[in-house]
Amino acid sequence: MKKLAFLLTTLFLVLLLAACGGNSSSDSDDSKATGEAAEEASSNVAAGDAEYKIRASIGLNSEHPQYKGLLKFKEIVEAETDGAIAVETYHSGQLGDDRTAMEALQLGSQEVTVPSTAPVANFIPEYAVFDIPFLFPNEQVADAVLDGKVGTKLLEMLDEQNLVGLAYWENGFRDMSNSKHPIESIADFDGLKIRTMENDLHLAAFRELGANPTPMAFTELFTALQQGTVDGQENPLSTIYLEGFHEVQDYVSDTHHIYTPFVFLVSKPFFDGLPAEYQEIVRSAAVEAGQYQREINREANEEYKQGLIDEGVEFTEMSEEAIAEMRDAVKPVVEEFSEKIGKELVDEIYQAVEDAQ
């Protein structure tokens, strides 16, 4: 009897595997994902049935609006192509940090990623134009500039890096967190060891503020904060709260010093190989999912702030004077980098910001 049950179970498993059409084996062959990542990766469409497979990765975790946006992208693409394109989503840097994922796209070994624009400046110096401190006064102006002429021009520059840029999503206004003391004015940056993104303008700006900055990939950050390798970091409240940085950081200040967009990237070799009809679906899905992502990202800001306070963070609201002082202090950095970015582009973005108000 036992033997019969065993045989039936085996038969059932064999049939099940056959029905999956070799899906699992192809997954492990060409995906760099760890076992855990592969398990967590979601795909409603059996990749075996799909003509194309998109592996889409982000750096933030599954709680973050960035991931909800990615799931929206998947939903639209799979529905509109009737499953001809399957989208596998990976969060938390499971396929590598922003820079690594971008390199995988260039090589064609991954199809989609949505990095912060700051590390893109290592590939295309003009991208540092978005890193000018205190450039955007609010999200609406950011949308207008990013979705307008300047933003489009920057998307087109990705082509020469074997990448296709389809839309800007939102990371958001960056705020300071640290484990030492409240940051209320410039003086409080003095000597603080701060992790920055891998971006020269960010590094120079924090040096100018008197801090001791170190560039580091996001995937290394939590451990570095926990072990005290750095005292602090800066990211939007959504990230500070949802990534649990407040477990190892006691102080948060709403400096809003830089607005970071995310940029939705597709591997150019992959995109070029898609039929025009599918290219259009992928393009509009990236835009539509981005609109949704921006919306939910903004909705929850108050909630994240309250969440941080409820969980014991000492939250400092920066005074206008302190912000003005920071803005003045980093002016030489903006000057210096305007050369590298290109004076014309810098003027153009300032003009676009003004026009959008």
Task: List CB contacts of 318: < 8 A, sequence separation 6 or more.
Answer: 183, 184, 253, 254, 255, 256
Output the smallest distance, CB 289 to ligand TK8, in A: 17
> What does the block give as tokens for 53?
């497979």
Task: List CB contacts of 200: < 8 A, sequence separation 6 or more.
Answer: 121, 128, 337
Q: Which is nearer to ligand TK8, 59 or 290 (CB)?
A: 59
Output the smallest distance, CB 23 to ligand TK8, in A: 28
In 109-162, beta strands by DSSP E? 112-113
255 binds ligand TK8 (CB under 6 A): no
178 binds ligand TK8 (CB under 6 A): no
43 binds ligand TK8 (CB under 6 A): no
Q: Counting runs of H as helices and runs of E as strands, what totals does the chain give?
A: 16, 11
Strand partners, 266: 112, 164
**Residue choice 218, 245, 259, 271 for contact with ligand TK8 (CB under 6 A):** 218
Contact mark string toward ligand TK8, 219..238, x via CB under 6 A:
----------------x---
Q: For residue 317, what is the DSSP state?
A: P
Q: Can you tell me the distance from the alpha carbon of 314 to that of 176, in angstroms, rounded to the nearest whole number? A: 12
Output the smallest distance, CB 66 to ligand TK8, in A: 7
253 binds ligand TK8 (CB under 6 A): no
**Residue choice 100, 239, 293, 316 for contact with ligand TK8 (CB under 6 A):** 239
Q: How many residues bind ligand TK8 (CB under 6 A)?
A: 11
Output the smallest distance, CB 172 to ligand TK8, in A: 9
200 binds ligand TK8 (CB under 6 A): no
Q: What is the CA radius of gyration of the chain?
A: 22
**Residue choice 27, 88, 98, 170 for contact with ligand TK8 (CB under 6 A):** 98
Strand order in the sheet with 85-90: 85-90, 52-57, 112-113, 259-267, 163-173
Q: Which residues bind ligand TK8 (CB under 6 A)?
A: 59-60, 98, 115-116, 171, 197, 218, 235, 239, 260
